Amino acid sequence: MEILNGFETSSVQRAVYLLKSGELVAFPTETVYGLGADAFNPYAVAKIFETKGRPRFDPLIVHIDTKEWLDKIAVEIPDKAKKLIEKFWPGPMTLILKKSNIIPDIVTSGLPTVGIRMPSHPVAKNLIKELRRPIAAPSANPFGYVSPTKAIHVANMLKNKIKLILDGGDSVYGIESTIISFQKEHVFINRHGAISLEEIQEVVGEVKDKKEITGTYESPGMMPYHYSPEKPLKIVNSPEEIDKKNSAFLAFKTPLKPVLSKYVRVLSEKGDLKEAASNFFSHLIELDQRDVEIIYAERVPEKGLGRAIMERLKKASKKYNVITH
């Protein structure tokens, strides 16, 4: 496995060569690192599912570099989708739209819709531009695990399963894109992410939460549990609820009193939700590597980016049935 500087032309050329050859390449986005394949190559896309251990019923997101691709890979773009595109693209927002026949069914898990986003990270944009084709990419991690926000995270998680990682530095947002879907005049959030509910409502008005369903998943992040560390994770309202010393504590703000846990990481000293989101996966990965029985995670306010953090914490804790309501 190679790790190359994604800002260098030769590195991008190497990545393009591999993608055109049907191989997978990990690359940085402003949200998390992605595991990419040529979106028009179903055999290459199949390798994503195999490499991640991802179930075939969980669709992928297609990444584009220009709005011109929309007319080729999507049809019937709602007016509210156009408003969101104008406001938030390029950026951490994925839109679920009716797909054209150019997108292989394996990308969308056989669904008639496709998730599309235009990343703002310069390495991602340049890679798609040089490939001259969209890139299908989920997060570059084993399925269900915490998402990587650094190149070294990808290297440690995927080992030698892929040939190349483009290093573009730490992900700025540190949390996945917000996923939006449409039904008639209604707008839904399928997955809370780096763009908050409040920001979206300013553009399109009322937005509803799309509830989890079983059997068919319209977009990534809709399964009952996800984003899970290997250690059990329990949500607590305050550090006073921690009852195991051999534990790690993911604190929202700096604790005012000593904490029982052996290891403590603070998402934001002052309780800033944007900073907390950017540190979330990175800190969780670090604590998961510690020799502890359990990870306690402090509840954060469910507003703004706090909704995205809590959505992930709840899904992570459901894996072990230790969620605290």
Q: What is the CATH number of domain 2-209?
A: 3.90.870.10
Say how far apart CA 95 and CA 17 lie, in whole Å.
Answer: 29
| pLDDT value at residue 239 | 95
Share of the chain above pLDDT 70, in %: 93
| pLDDT value at residue 228 | 85
| pLDDT value at residue 144 | 87
Q: Are 146 and 280 in contact (CB under 8 A)?
A: no
pLDDT in tens, 129-177: 999 999 999 999 999 899 999 999 999 999 999 999 999 999 999 999 9
Q: Which CATH number fits domain 233-318: 3.30.1330.60, 3.40.50.11030, 1.10.1060.10, 3.40.50.11890?
A: 3.40.50.11030
> Where exactly are the structural domains of the chain?
2-209, 233-318
Exposed, middle or buried by CB within 10 Å (0-12, 13-18, 19+), for 136? buried
Rounding to the nearest 10 degrees, give the CA dihedral for residues 202, 139, 65, 133.
-140
Residue 221 has pLDDT above 70, yes or no: no
pLDDT in tens, 57-100: 899 999 999 999 999 999 989 999 999 999 999 999 999 999 99
Q: Between vectors from CA 110 to CA 106 and to CA 115, what angle results, nearest 5°?
A: 75
| pLDDT value at residue 225 | 57
Residue 316 has pLDDT above 50, yes or no: yes
| pLDDT value at residue 319 | 66
Q: Predicted confidence band at 214 (pLDDT cuts at 50, 70, 90)? A: very low
Q: Are 189 and 179 in contact (CB under 8 A)?
A: yes
Share of the chain above pLDDT 90, in %: 87
DSSP 40-105: T-HHHHHHHHHHHT--TTSPPEEE-SSGGGHHHHEE---HHHHHHHHHH-SSSEEEEEEEPTTS-T
Q: What residues have CB less than 8 Å from 14, skipping those under 6 apart?
A: 2, 4, 164
pLDDT in tens, 177-199: 999 999 988 999 999 999 999 99
| pLDDT value at residue 48 | 97
User: Mean pLDDT over all residues of the chain?
Assistant: 93
Q: Are 180 and 205 in contact (CB under 8 A)?
A: no
233 vs 209, higher pLDDT: 233
Q: pTM value?
A: 0.92
pLDDT in tens, 101-122: 999 999 999 999 999 999 999 9
Residue 313 has pLDDT above 90, yes or no: yes
